[in-house]
Amino acid sequence: MVTGFLIIFACIGLSRYAWTMLLPSMQAGLGLSYGRKGYIGAGNYRGLLAALITAGAMFFALFLPRPDHTSSSRS
């Protein structure tokens, strides 16, 4: 589990900080407009948001105790 966390941190966490340094050279090399850069950035953060929501749902499904519905409190 620790190895998985470190891999995700390296791939997603550190790449978010490298993004701002790469974007100007991408704009010059690919001839991107400011609007196109905005779409690329929005897609990047949309993917990050989807990953965080999925990870949160997986955490709640796997690690939180579930209520016990087997016993009935009715008399």
Boundaries of every domain in the chain: 27-61
- The per-residue pLDDT of the chain, averaged, comes to 79
Backbone dihedral region for residue 67 (phi beyond 0: left; psi -120 to 50: alpha; all else: beta): beta
The pTM is what? 0.56
* Cβ partners under 8 Å of residue 12, min gap 6: 48, 51
Task: For residues 27 and 70, give the distance between their C-alpha atoms in angstroms, rounded to a whole number.
Answer: 60
60 versus 14: which is more confidently predicted?
60
* pLDDT of 57 over the 60 cut: yes
CA dist 64 → 9, 28, 57, 59, 67 (Å): 23, 48, 11, 7, 10
pLDDT in tens, 10-41: 777 777 777 777 888 888 898 989 898 888 88
**Rounded (10°) angle between helices 34-63 and 14-30:** 160
* pLDDT of 66 over the 80 cut: no
